[in-house]
Amino acid sequence: MLLSALLLLISTAEAQLSSNFYDSTCPNALTTIRAGIQAAVRTEQRMAASLIRLHFHDCFVQGCDASILLDDTPSITGEKTARPNANSVRGYEVIDDVKSQLESQCPGIVSCADIVAVAARDASEAVNGPTWTVNLGRRDSTGASRAGAESDLPGFNDPLDRLVERFDTKGLSARDMVALSGSHTIGQARCATFRGRIYNNGSDIDADFAATRRGQCPSVAGDGNNNLAPLDLVTPNSFDNNYFRNLMERRGLLQSDQVLFSGGSTDSIVDEYSRDSGAFNSDFAAAMIRMGDIEPLTGSQGEVRRVCTAVNAAA
């Protein structure tokens, strides 16, 4: 019943979003966003993965409403400091810069939520990944939910059944989950998130891979917590399907990656994507569209923030 109601909400929201939402009110909006994202990725290639992840972490909490961008205030406990986001989610300044440019062109027109959604698509394009048509017309929340971020976002040690449940709650299938996890073909992870995996000597991790990763991740928690390692050791800067080949060789960096190929229900999807990059790219784009349509605020709901870090009354 809950899932049916959620799917109805998503379907209703899709009807209110459109790819040409800003054609008359801010005709250069998409061009401006693309230019800003391309410049950011040229400066730091890792930013492509960060912007895709920023969109994901926004949509899984209160829907795709830019709630993740809000700073803490006396009346708002933001999501930036939630356990899954603190010292982890990046790219806020890129969104802020694009928003500033758009406010100069079309004040009060383009929402932060739409900028985050478009930025994810443009980030994928910037590293030769899939592209898709972004539905537009989201509005920004006037609040955030740290509790929601703590409870709804997948964890790096989640077992497969828990991951499937988390995605299902958002109206996303197991196939969507595996496709979206494929964004880990780019980007990096902190030692603190994979230390347990590389030191547990388990049968689900390649011994040579674990030894390599230990070189930059000491066994005892401390200063090494923030040391980074590429999620895809082989082609860390290319958006390709090598992530899935890594899983089949027991070289997934995070435990939540490796469980996708561990004798469970998603093994066949990983195997398919490892052999068919076209299927992965197509499914990734479709899943990003579905994720971007999770419970957006539309019409008179929410607001269009003047700055992305604060609601308008406090901006």
Residue positions forming the annotated binding site for heme b: 184
Residue 55, C-beta contacts closer than 8 angstroms, at least 6 positions apart: 64, 116, 117, 119, 120, 288, 291, 292
Strands 228-230 and 188-190: antiparallel
Burial class (CB in 10 A: 0-12, 13-18, 19+), 35: middle
Q: With contact defined as beta carbons under 8 Å apart, do 142 and 302 qualify? A: yes
Residue 230 pairs in a beta bridge with: 188
Q: Binding-site residues for Ca(2+), please?
A: 58, 61, 63, 65, 67, 79, 185, 232, 235, 240
Catalytic residue among 57, 121, 138, 197: 57
What b/e sequence results for 178-195 when a residue is b if at least 16 CB atoms lie within 10 Å of its CB, and e otherwise? bbbbbbbbbbbbbbbbbb
Sign of CA dihedral 220, 221, 223, 229: positive
Question: Is 55 among the residues known to form the active site?
Answer: no
- Residues with a known catalytic role: 57
